[in-house]
Structure 1
Amino acid sequence: MSTTNTKALGYTTMLISATLMGCVGLFARHINTSGDVIAFTRFTVGAIGTLAIILASGKLIYLRGTRLSPAIICGGVSLGLCLAAYVSSTQHTTLANAVFLIYTGPLFSSILAAIFLKEKVDKITGCLLFLVFIGTLMILGLINYDAATGFTMSLSFKAENMLGDMLGLVSGFGYGLYLFLSRYRTDVSSEIRSFYNFLFGGLGIAVYLILNPPSLAMMDGSSWLWLIAMAFFTGFAALGLLAVAARHLKAAELACVAYFECAVGAGIGILVFGESMTAFQAFGGAMIIIGGVGQVVASTVVDHFSKLRQPTPVPETVRHTH
């Protein structure tokens, strides 16, 4: 597969994954249980669905033959840690702080990839990544603007919120570590990698559930249906596609499109739940879309011109005539 086609596959799967992840709020508002139970169900359904695909495609032999490495194990555990820590963070600090800290993850992954994988972040990607990050802070209301007061930030780091802020930082680092580790072992197929991501992520959350048992007393038939549907779309499908995208995109490229999740979530809030959005927040959403689309276009253009600059190979018959 050519580099251009590989990039196209990576961006397509990442865009679909981010869109599905942005629908988490749509499902979660119909489920009467805690976020850690939701996260565990997402991983469990994801593992079962991915295993079914592996069995149906006759790839069980590859699953058995795949050598587990720290990158594969820690990748799944870090994703489970991310979701569990985020749930706890929202209980001990402000929602604004928790959301901000988990969305530092893509930035962490870009920095780690630049240091350890020597993935260069070109100026265009760097600028677009900064653009979508600022746009995310704007659409989430973490950065506000008012004609009377000017620019303000709703983040407030206080001593009484220290535990929650630290857990939020752990969730962001876990998210970034997962994106970073997904760049290792690209020799492993997407289905195999997804299965192990789900398996070890689920095991990580299972430990958390044992230490902090959840309550299912409020779960009715409707909640269970929404939970299973959410696990399929935002677990099996979204995280499975993320594993595909991670094989074909650099960490910074992944990050630029990952923030599209925020724009989708905000759009669903307006269209489905009648939530309001200020013009300043809408401008932030536009920045996210422009940054994500700009990264896709810029990457495609760069790959196209790089291909044109490559020397045309001389046919064997021509070389022998000289």
Structure 2
Amino acid sequence: MALSIDAPTRVQDSHRLSARPVAPRTNRRLGVVAIVASATAMGAAGLFGRLATPADAVIGEALTLGRMLVGALGMLVLLTVSRHLGQLRRARLSWSVVLGGVFLGISLATYLSATVLIDLSLAVVLHYIGPALATLLARVMLKERITHPDLLSLAASFLGMMLAAGLVGGAPSPASDQQTLGVVLGVVSGVFYGAALLCYRYRSDMPADVRSFWNFTFGTVATGAMVALARPDLSGMTPTHWVWAGGFFLVCGLLALGLLVVAGKHLRAAELSGLSYWEVVVAMMIGAAAFGESVSLLAVLGAGLIVVGAVLPLLSGRPR
């Protein structure tokens, strides 16, 4: 199947070249529900990842490979049941579809490794450099308009993240090789996550289930290459670890990432970014409840700012 050069989707009149481009129909409410559900499931990735990882092991690449592979197989089953395999064969692949899956696979593998090395709240904050980066790139590359509520949303969410992670007003974490590696992996995950979100803004003509299948497929290729290079040691995996890994593949893979693609079809980058920050709040609450990570008053304030930032883009009408 040949790859084509991407451009934002446009439907043109085949008879009149001068006809005005028609944007694909979107469902904002569906997009909001999809991204909130996706962010909630994604916020649980640190919980599943830690409980699926043996002590003193870093196997983020292997777990993410399973996450992507199960997602691809799951979407293939759904396409078969819904009789959409014909759409899969007819869909035109393009570089944004390929790179969207590759970037997401790299991002999630490095993020999962970061959650084992540093606090969940800090790992997820570094990962969420991505949505802010995607919003800025969408403004430059796709000419998406950023409204005043959008800017306020990004500012509130970013400040909220800094407070929630203890990067503002909190005690500095002790420096160590593990801490440094975790921070580096977290930043890398954020950059690649932003690149993946930007790719989702292209080719919105492709059905969500078809796009999800290719997303998982090319994510599998990327993480498979990472596993081949890193060669993670899985010898310490017990049956309990594998049970948690299976839950991780389904909840944080097939469910969360499939819904992320749906949201990317129906929301602008600023709306997608603001609402996706809900994952930071979920990860912070899980870190406190399951692993005893401290939650200060400033962190609670930060969580409140993230919620405010998520709502602000929805208060303004969709830019024309």
| Normalised-by-shorter TM-score class | 0.7 to 0.9
Q: Tell me, yes or no, if the aligned pair for 1:24 and 1:230 is still in contact at 8 Å.
A: yes
1:101-158 CA-partner distances (Å, limit 9, x unpaired): 432111110111101111011011111111011101111112225xxxxxx77698x9
Partner of 1:211: 229
AA of the residue aligned to 1:49: G
1:160-199 aligned at under 5 Å gives the runs: 168-199=186-217
Distance, in Å, in 2 between the alignment partners of 1:266 and 1:93 is 13
Q: CA deviation at 1:25?
A: 2.1
1:287 aligns with 2:305: yes
Q: Secondary structure at the match of 1:143?
A: coil
Name the % identity: 37
Structure 2 residues not aligned, in runs of 5+: 1-23
Q: Secondary structure at the match of 2:27?
A: helix
**Equivalent in 216, 223, 230 of residue 248 of structure 2:** 230
AA of the residue aligned to 1:142: L
Q: CA deviation at 1:98?
A: 5.8
Partner of 2:69: 44
Q: Tell me, yes or no, if the aligned pair for 1:72 and 1:196 is still in contact at 8 Å.
A: yes
1:149-205 CA-partner distances (Å, limit 9, x unpaired): xxx77698x9x95x8766544322210010000010000000000011100011101
Distance, in Å, in 2 between the alignment partners of 1:188 and 1:175 is 20
| Shift in alpha-carbon separation, 1:131–1:4, aligned structure 2, 3 A | farther
| Shift in alpha-carbon separation, 1:94–1:139, aligned structure 2, 3 A | closer
| Shift in alpha-carbon separation, 1:52–1:128, aligned structure 2, 3 A | same
Q: Tell me, yes or no, if the aligned pair for 2:102 and 2:222 is still in contact at 8 Å.
A: yes
Partner of 2:6: none
Q: Tell me, yes or no, if the aligned pair for 1:14 and 1:257 is still in contact at 8 Å.
A: yes
Q: CA deviation at 1:29?
A: 2.6
Partner of 1:149: none
1:196-252 CA-partner distances (Å, limit 9, x unpaired): 110001110100111111111111111111111111011000000000000011111
Q: CA RMSD in A?
A: 3.0
**Equivalent in 65, 70, 75 of residue 100 of structure 2:** 75
Q: Tell me, yes or no, if the aligned pair for 1:142 and 1:154 is still in contact at 8 Å.
A: no
Q: Tell me, yes or no, if the aligned pair for 1:97 and 1:155 is still in contact at 8 Å.
A: no
1:140 aligns with 2:158: no
Distance, in Å, in 2 between the alignment partners of 1:280 and 1:173 is 26
TM-score (norm 2): 0.82
AA of the residue aligned to 1:11: V
Q: Secondary structure at the match of 2:201?
A: coil
1:62-101 aligned at under 5 Å gives the runs: 62-86=87-111, 100-101=125-126
| Shift in alpha-carbon separation, 1:116–1:191, aligned structure 2, 3 A | same
Distance, in Å, in 2 between the alignment partners of 1:96 and 1:267 is 9
Shifted more, 178-187 versus 82-91: the winner is: 82-91
| Shift in alpha-carbon separation, 1:201–1:252, aligned structure 2, 3 A | same
Partner of 2:9: none
Structure 1 residues not aligned, in runs of 5+: 146-151, 308-322
TM-score (norm 1): 0.82
Distance, in Å, in 2 between the alignment partners of 1:275 and 1:165 is 17
Partner of 1:254: 272
Distance, in Å, in 2 between the alignment partners of 1:11 and 1:95 is 25
1:45-101 CA-partner distances (Å, limit 9, x unpaired): 111111110010001011011111001001100111212344566799999886554
1:25 aligns with 2:46: yes
Rg larger for: 1
AA of the residue aligned to 2:135: S
**Equivalent in 54, 60, 81 of residue 85 of structure 2:** 60
Q: Secondary structure at the match of 1:29?
A: helix
Q: CA deviation at 1:281?
A: 0.6
